[in-house]
């Protein structure tokens, strides 16, 4: 159960996927992002090797391109990465983007199929769409100069020491770059090597998933107000499936088989009422407040009231600390409070634990997913926790 003080807003530029260019068949095209945002530059990356200066770089002897995955099954390799990027860009969150589609990617596929009128567990349409939309699943990104403001290797773990800090920053440049590109440090090490990732500094370049970045430095203090259209929407938080689904005010009623059911009922028409879905981690069972609530407030970069007694028993104590805002705050970069006091939807400093570790009572999302909520819902939205 949590309390906030104040906030900040995301104004991220959304880079478009690059146009297809002619490359040697043994190269993998990669988008190169400038260090301060803006449009990307297409380059060609040989595997293994560095970024080539031109798309006609000669092949490495013996180098081959892995075959495409079957369209009718969960993909692997670059096709898996394409699929995760495609779903993420469509607001159907697949979880951490790592080229290894798991349960959250499956749930995102089910949602995408439901919206587009396909059987929920059909893979052909979504794989086909992903390959068309994401010809280049990897990009070259530069470490921004803002790491000097948003990285603190000495960020303490004890709340009493955290309360003395200006902000709850990233603990490493690698952590910042991983969250920026909706990934984790393990996957960036796979792409770039541990030596490079452990020694990153401003203006270094690394390979990343070709995804719209989450710009922590573009958040600004703001409290989001009600909106005539967005406030009418409806959120269903499924604590068993670990997914939050966002619907228009009056979603169409459809008969769809539950994910994992032996038989799938074909959806005869698209469910355009469903507009987004994201992976979540619910609170501990004893603290989950099932029911239907109203979204009351949306505050970016909130302070968090650390109250040990409240966390352990659900009852407010006399001793508390104000933990400063930042990406490593226990409530992440945004707090969305419900009409049930102390309960809300919020970000997290540990996106890799979404779906596994349980919070003390609230609904956690990865920061890059949580920060999208003001573009989808606003105070007044109904939130059903089931």
Element spanning 43, H or E:
strand 41-45
pLDDT of residue 16: 36
- The predicted-structure confidence for 307-362, as pLDDT tens digits, reads as follows 765 666 556 666 788 999 999 999 999 999 999 988 899 999 999 889 776 666 68
HSE value, Cβ hemisphere, 13 Å, CA-based, for 39: 4
- The predicted-structure confidence for 102-111, as pLDDT tens digits, reads as follows 999 999 999 9
- The predicted-structure confidence for 198-239, as pLDDT tens digits, reads as follows 999 999 999 999 999 999 999 987 999 999 999 999 999 999
Distance separating alpha carbons of residues 68 and 51, to the nearest angstrom:
23
Exposed / middle / buried, residue 374 (Cβ in 10 Å: 0-12, 13-18, 19+): buried
pLDDT for residue 289 is more than 90: no
What pTM was estimated for this model as a whole? 0.80
pLDDT for residue 269 is more than 70: no
DSSP symbol at 216 = G
Whether the bond between 48 and the residue before it is cis, its omega within 30 degrees of 0, is yes
Distance separating alpha carbons of residues 356 and 67, to the nearest angstrom:
33
What are the domain boundaries of the chain?
223-385
pLDDT of residue 25: 27
Q: Give CATH superfamily name and number for 223-385.
A: L,D-transpeptidase catalytic domain-like (2.40.440.10)
Q: Which pLDDT band, with edges at 50, 70 and 90, does 65 fall under?
A: low
The residue with greater pLDDT, 174 or 262, is 174
């Amino acid at each position: 159960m949590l309390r906030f003080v104040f906030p900040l807003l995301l104004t991220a530029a959304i880079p478009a996927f690059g146009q297809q260019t002619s490359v040697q068949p043994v190269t993998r095209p990669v988008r190169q992002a400038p260090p301060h945002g803006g449009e990307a530059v297409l380059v060609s990356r040989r595997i293994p090797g560095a970024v080539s200066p031109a798309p006609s770089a000669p092949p490495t002897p013996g180098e081959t391109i892995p075959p495409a995955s079957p369209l009718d099954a969960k993909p692997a390799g670059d096709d898996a990465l394409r699929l995760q990027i495609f779903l993420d860009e469509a607001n159907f969150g697949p979880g951490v983007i790592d080229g290894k589609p798991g349960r959250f990617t499956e749930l995102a596929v089910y949602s995408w199929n439901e919206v587009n009128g396909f059987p929920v567990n059909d893979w052909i349409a979504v794989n086909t769409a992903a390959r068309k939309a994401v010809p280049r699943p990897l990009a070259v990104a530069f470490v921004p100069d803002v790491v000097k403001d948003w990285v603190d290797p000495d960020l303490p773990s004890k709340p009493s020491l955290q309360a003395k800090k200006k902000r709850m920053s990233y603990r490493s440049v690698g952590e910042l770059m991983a969250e920026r590109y909706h990934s984790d440090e393990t996957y960036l090490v796979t792409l770039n090597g541990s030596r490079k990732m452990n020694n990153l500094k401003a203006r270094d370049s690394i390979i990343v998933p070709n995804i719209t970045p989450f710009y922590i430095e573009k958040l600004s203090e703001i409290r989001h107000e009600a909106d005539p259209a967005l406030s009418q929407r409806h959120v269903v938080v499924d604590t068993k499936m670990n997914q939050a689904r966002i619907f228009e005010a009056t979603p169409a009623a459809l008969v769809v088989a539950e994910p994992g059911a032996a038989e799938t009922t074909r959806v005869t028409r698209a469910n355009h009422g469903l507009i987004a879905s994201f992976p979540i981690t619910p609170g501990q069972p004893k603290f989950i407040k099932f029911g239907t609530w109203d979204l009351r407030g949306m505050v970016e970069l909130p302070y968090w009231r650390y109250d040990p007694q409240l966390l352990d028993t659900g009852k407010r104590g006399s001793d508390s600390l104000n933990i400063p805002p930042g990406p490593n705050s226990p409530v992440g970069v945004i707090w969305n409070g419900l009409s049930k006091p102390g309960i809300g939807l919020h970000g997290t400093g540990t996106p890799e634990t979404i779906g596994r570790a349980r919070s003390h009572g609230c609904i956690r999302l990865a920061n890059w997913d949580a920060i999208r909520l003001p573009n989808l819902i606003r105070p007044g939205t109904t939130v059903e926790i089931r």
